Structure 1
Amino acid sequence: MEESPPSPVTEATEADTEEQKNGNSKILKRLETIPDIKRDTSGITTQYIATGIVNLGAFASGACVAWSSSALPMMTLGHSESRPSDGVIYASFNGTHPKIELTDSEASWVASLLCLGALFGAVPSGLISEYFGRKKTLLYLALPLVVSWILVASSPNVYGLYVGRFVGGLAVGAFSVAIPPYVEDIAEDNLRPALANFYHVHFACGILFGYIIGMVHSTSWLSMLCASVPVAFFIAFIFLPESPTYLITQGKYVEAKTALRYFRGIDNDVDSEIKVLKEFIRSHGRNKVTIKQLLSSRTTIKALVVSYGLMIFQQMSGIFPILFNAEKIFKSFSISLNPPSAAIILGFCLVSSTYFSTTFLKKIRRRVLLLISFTAMSLSLGLLAIYYHLNVSNLSNNSTWVPLFTLCLFVSVYAVGVGPIPWLMLREIFAPNVRRRATAVTAGFHWFLAFGVTKLFQNLVHIVSPGWTLWFFALTCAVGTIFVYFFVPETKDRTLDEIQDEFDGIHKRRKHRHVIEVETIYQA
C-alpha cells in the first residue's frame, strides 16, 4: 500500500517547528552570505573583528607618529646651510612640488604640532560622541586625517606642513578618546580587557607600518600610503552598527536590540542585557557630573592626581621623542646598521611587547608591572647615556647593538607597563558617572605633555647634548618609580569601593578569627 504524501499543513507545521528551533530561516540564509563574521553564532568572532576594524583609527594614529621619524630626516637642512626668504629650496623636487627642506627647529614644530592638535581633538570628542553618536563621530574623523595627508603631501612650504600636522592631530586625539567607549559598549564583560588592549596593539602596529614604508624615499609617497589607512577605516567601519548603549540613550530600543544581537550572535538572548543597559543609563543620567563637580570630590581629586601623575612620568620618560625621532637618534649614534632598518626593529619590539602585555596584565599586579617598567626604562636610558659619553670621549668604538638593544628594551618594557596601565587604570579608579569626563581631561593632559616634551626635545639636545638629555629621561623614570611606590594603589582584582576607600584613607581589615573560635563553631 502506497504512503500518502504529507499534506501542506503538516509541512508548514514542521517548518514552523524548525524555524522556532533555529530562528527565522530568511535571516539565517541572509547571514550565511556574510563571510566569517557571522559564522560564530556566539558573537565572539564578530566582536573581535568589529574591534579590529574600529581600531584602524588607532593604526592610523600610529602611522602619524612614525611619519616624523621617516620623513623629517629627508627634509632637514644641515646646520651650516642657509634658507631662502620664501622658506623653500628649489634644488630638488618631490612629485610636482619643490622639496621642502627644514631647519631642526621647524622639524620639531612639524613633529610636535600633531600632539598639539591631539590636545584640541581629545577634550571635546567625548561630548561630541554623546550628541552625534559613537559611530558618526568615529566615521567622520577619517576626513581630517585624509585632508591632513593631502596637505602634507602637496604643501609647497613649511606652513602647509604645520596646518596638515595640526589637522591630523585633531583626529588622533579624538580617536584616543572615542575608540575605547565604542569598544566598551560592544564587548562582553569577559572579553572587555582583551578587546580594550586592541587600541594599544593597533597604535603600535601603525608605528611599525610607518617605519616600514619609510623605506620609500619620497615624502609624497609616504604621505599617500599613510592616507590609505583612514580611507580603509572609513570603508570598513561604515558597515558596522551604532553603539547599542548610545541607541538606548536616544530611545531607539528596537535598533539597540538589533545592534546588540549583531554583536552577541543570533543564538544569544539579549533582552536581559538590554535591561541592564537601561538601568545603567538611567543611573548615569541621574548622577552625571560637570567638570566643577568632578573637582569637588576628594576621592575623585585623588584619582585625578594618580592618573595625572602617571601621565606626567609616562610622557616625561621620553617615549614620544624617541618614537618621533627614531631614525635621527640611531643616526646620531653612527650605528653601522641602516637607521630605517633599526627603526623597523624598534617598531617590531614595540608591537610584540604590546601584544603580549595582555597576558602580563592578567597575571601580574598593576603596581608591580609599573615598578618593573619604570626601573627597566631608567636603566636602559642610563646605559645608553653612558655609552654616548664613552663614544664621544673616544673611549668606546661605534657599536650597533648597544643603542639598538637599549632602545628596544626601553620600548618593550614601556609597552608592557607604563604604556597601557595608566589608560587601564582610568576604568578602575573612577566611578562610572565620572569616568568618561575624567578620561577626556586626562587624555587632553596626556597630549599636552606629549606636545611639550616632543617640541622641547630638540632644544634640550642642542643645549645639553644627547647624553644629558638621556640622563634627564632616565632620572624622570626613576622618580616615576618612587611615585608609583608611594601614591599609586593596586587595582587588580579589587572593587571600585575598595580602591576609593583607600583614597579616603579607609583601610578595611578582615576580622581575625582564632583557630579555637573556628574549632568551636565546627563542634557546635
Structure 2
Amino acid sequence: MAIQQDVEQGKQEAREPLLDEDKTSVDGDEEGDERKISQKSRRENVWMVYLSTIVAVCGSYEFGCCAGYSSPTQSAITEDLDLSLSEYSVFGSILTFGAMIGAITSGPIADFIGRKGAMRVATGFCVVGWLAIYFAEGALALDIGRLATGYGMGVFSYVVPVFIAEIAPKDLRGALTTLNQLMICTGVSVSFIIGTVLTWRVLALIGLVPCAILLFGLFLIPESPRWLAKTGKEKEFETALQKLRGEDADISHEAAEIKDYIETLERLPKAKMLDIFQRRYVRSVIIGVGLMVCQQFGGINGICFYVSEIFEIAGFSSSVGTITYACLQVVVTALGATLIDKAGRKPLLLVSATGLVIGCLLTGLAFYFKVYDLATNAVPALAVTGVLLYIGSFSAGMGAVPWVVMSEIFPINIKGVAGSLATLVNWFGAWLISYTFNYLMSWSSYGTFILYAAINALAFLFIITVVPETKGRTLEQIQAAINN
C-alpha cells in the first residue's frame, strides 16, 4: 500500500511542471500547439528569463568566491596577522559552519519573504562578512566575517537553483539550472587565479562585486511566480509570469498548471523529520545521505581550501598549480554537465570515484617520497598530477551528480524534509574535512591522502552496490523501484 501511494504521488509529480519533464499524450498535444509559436517570438519571450537567471547566478558566483577565498590567502593572512595553525583552521572551516546555519534557515526565509528577499538577505550577510575580513586586525574579526559569508553562501546554495527552476520554461529549465554549478566553480577558480596576484584584503573587496550586481539586478527582475501563487498574491503572480513570458504570450495554460500544482502541494500531508525514517522511505534516505557523505568525506573541501599549501609543501609553484587547478575545474564541470543525461548518473559517479582514489594515491605517494627523501625530483610532478586528477575526477561526477540523484529519489511529500537532512549532512562533512585537514597534514602528509583514498574506495563500493541508475526513468519508476 505504501508503494502504491508513492507511485500515485509520482504520477502526480509527472503531471506537474516543476517536478518532471515527462509528459502524457495530452501534454504532447499541448507541446505541439506551443511549437507553433515562431522562433523569433520565442526568443523575444524568454529574454527576461535569461536576465533573471544571470542575476540569480551572481549568487552562485558569490558562493564560489567565498569557497575559494581561503586557499590563495593562507600564507599572507597567517603572516600578516600572526595566526597560529589552529586559528587559521578555524577561519578556513567556520565558513561551512555558517553555511550549515544558512542552509537550515534558507527554506523558511525563502518561503516567508520570497526568493528575491532570501537572495537579498544572503547578499547582505556576504557584504558584512567581506567588510569584516577587509578591516580585520585579528582572528576574531576574520572569523566573524567568514561566518557571515558562510551564512550567505548557505542561503544561496538553496535559493538560487530553486528560483531558476521556478521561473524557467520547462524546455529551458535543465540547461539554465546547470549554470548554478558552473558559476560556483567559476567563482572558486577566479578567486584562485586572482588571489595569486592580489593581496588578501583586496581579494575580499573583489568579493563585493557580485553582491553589488545582484542587489542592483534584483530590482530589474520579477519574483518567482510560483512563490507568489503559493502565498496567494494572485495579481502579482500573473504580472510576474507575464513579464517572464513576454507581453504577447498567452500565459493562461501555464498559470492554470501552476495553480493546480500549488493546490496539490497544499493537499499533501506535511512531512515531519521522523517520517523519513519509515521503512518505505529508508532506502531513499540512505542513498541521498550516503552520496553526500561520499562527496564530502573524500577530502574535497580540505584540498580545495588549501590547494596552494599542498603545492608549496610538495615543492611545486603554488601560483601555476592553482591556476591550472582552477581552469581544469571549470572545463571539466562544464563537460560533465553535457554528459550526465547521455552517459548516466552511475557511470559518471563510478568513473569519478576511481579517479579520486588514484589522485589521492598519487598525491600520497609524492608526500611519502618527500618525507623519506626518495626520488625527490619526482615529488612535484607526482603531487600536481595527483591533485589535478583528483579535482578533474571530482568535477566530472562526484561534485554535481549527488545533487541530481537526490532530487530524483525522494517522493514529493518528503522532498523538503529529506533534502534538508541531506544538505545538512553535506555541510557538516564540508566543515569537518576543512577543519581537520591541517591537523591531518601535520600528523602525516602522505597518511592524509591515503586515508582519503580509502574513503573514496568505500564510496566506489557504496555507489556500485546501493545507488541505482536513474537516467531515462520517470520519477514514479525510480521511486517505485527504490521503495519496493
TM above 0.5: yes
Which TM-score band applies after superposition, normalised by the shorter structure?
0.7 to 0.9
Structure label with greater radius of gyration: 1
Tell me which residue corresponds to 1:402. 382
Residues 182 and 468 (structure 1 numbering): CA distance in 2 closer, same or farther, change over 3 Å? same
Q: How does 1:27-42 map to 2 (within 5 A)?
A: 41-42=43-44
Q: Specify which of 307, 310, 317 is matched with residue 298 of structure 2.
A: 317
Matched, 1:391 2:370: yes
State the one-letter code of the partner of 1:427: S
After superposition, the C-alpha distances for 1:213-244 in whole angstroms (9 at most, x for unaligned) are 21334221111111222122211223110000
Query: Are 1:42 and 1:267, in contact at CA under 8 Å, matched by a contact in 2?
Result: no
Change (3 A) 1:279 1:351: same
Distance 1:312 1:293 in 2: 20
Q: Secondary structure at the match of 1:295?
A: helix
What's 2:69 paired with?
Answer: 67
Matched letter for residue 59 of structure 1: Y
Contact 1:377/1:409 (CA < 8 Å) preserved in 2?
yes
1:125–1:174 CA contact under 8 A, matched in 2: yes
Task: Provide the secondary structure at the position in 2 that maps to 1:245.
Answer: helix
Percent of paired sites with the same residue: 28
Matched to 2:446, the amino acid is G
Does the aligned pair in 2 maintain the 1:41–1:267 contact within 8 Å? Answer: no
State how 1:161-172 maps to structure 2 within 5 Å. 161-172=142-153
Question: Hey, what does 1:222 align to over in structure 2?
Answer: 203
Q: 2:471 aligns with which of 492, 497, 505?
A: 492
2:449 equivalent in structure 1: 470
Aligned residue for 1:417? 397
The answer as to whether partners of 2:83 and 2:139 remain within 8 angstroms in 1 is: yes
Q: 1:43 to 1:409 in 2, by over 3 A?
A: farther
Question: Which structure 2 residues correspond to residues 173-192 of structure 1 after superposition, within 5 A?
Answer: 173-192=154-173
> What is aligned with 1:26?
none
SS at match of 1:140: helix
**Using the alignment, how far apart are the partners of 1:413 and 1:426 within structure 2?**
20
Q: Distance in 2 between matches of 1:403 and 1:189?
A: 44
Aligned to 2:430: 450
Tell me how far apart the structure 2 counterparts of residues 432 and 194 of structure 1 sit (CA, whole Å). Answer: 22
In structure 2, the partner of 1:508 is none
Q: Which has the higher contact order (CA 8 A, sep 6+)?
A: 2
Name the SS of the counterpart of 2:377 in structure 1: coil
Query: Partners of 1:135 and 1:299 in 2: how far apart?
Result: 36
**Where does residue 143 of structure 1 map in the other structure?**
124
Q: What is the rounded CA distance, in whole Å, between the counterparts of 2:252 and 2:51 in structure 1? A: 23
- Taking a change above 3 Å as real, the CA distance of residues 297 and 264 of structure 1, as seen in their structure-2 partners, is farther
CA distance in 2, matches of 1:231, 1:73: 28
Taking the TM superposition and a 5 Å limit, the aligned residue runs for 1:418-433 are 418-433=398-413
Give structure 2 stretches of 5+ with no counterpart. 1-39
Paired with 1:127 and 1:468, the residues of 2 have a C-alpha distance of 42
Deviates more, 1:186-195 or 1:448-457: 186-195
Correspondence for 2:321:
342
Unpaired runs of at least 5, structure 1 = 1-37, 78-98, 506-524
TM-score when normalising by structure 1: 0.81
Cα drift, residue 311 of structure 1: 0.6
Q: Could you tell me how far apart the structure 1 residues matched to 2:275 and 2:244 are? A: 33
Output the aligned Cα RMSD. 1.8
Residue of structure 2 in register with 1:56 after alignment:
58
Count of matched residue pairs = 444
Q: Displacement, 1:302?
A: 1.9
* Corresponding residue SS for 2:391: helix
Contact 2:161 2:177 in 1 (8 A): yes
8 Å contact from structure 1 (residues 119, 170) kept in 2? yes
Deviation at 1:269, TM superposition (A): 1.8
CA drift of 1:261 comes to: 2.4
Task: Give the distance between the partners of 1:232 and 1:323, measured in 2 at CA.
Answer: 26
TM-score w.r.t. structure 2 length?
A: 0.88
Give the structure with the higher percent helix.
Answer: 2
8 Å CA contact 1:152–1:160 kept in 2: the answer is yes
The aligned amino acid for 2:257 is V
The aligned amino acid for 1:496 is: L
Counterpart-to-counterpart distance in 2, 1:478 and 1:43: 48
Answer yes or no: is the 8 Å Cα contact 1:118–1:444 preserved in 2. no
Letter in 2 for 1:113: I
Query: How many angstroms does 1:42 deviate by?
Result: 4.9
How far, CA to CA, are the matches of 2:385 and 2:277 in structure 1? Answer: 47
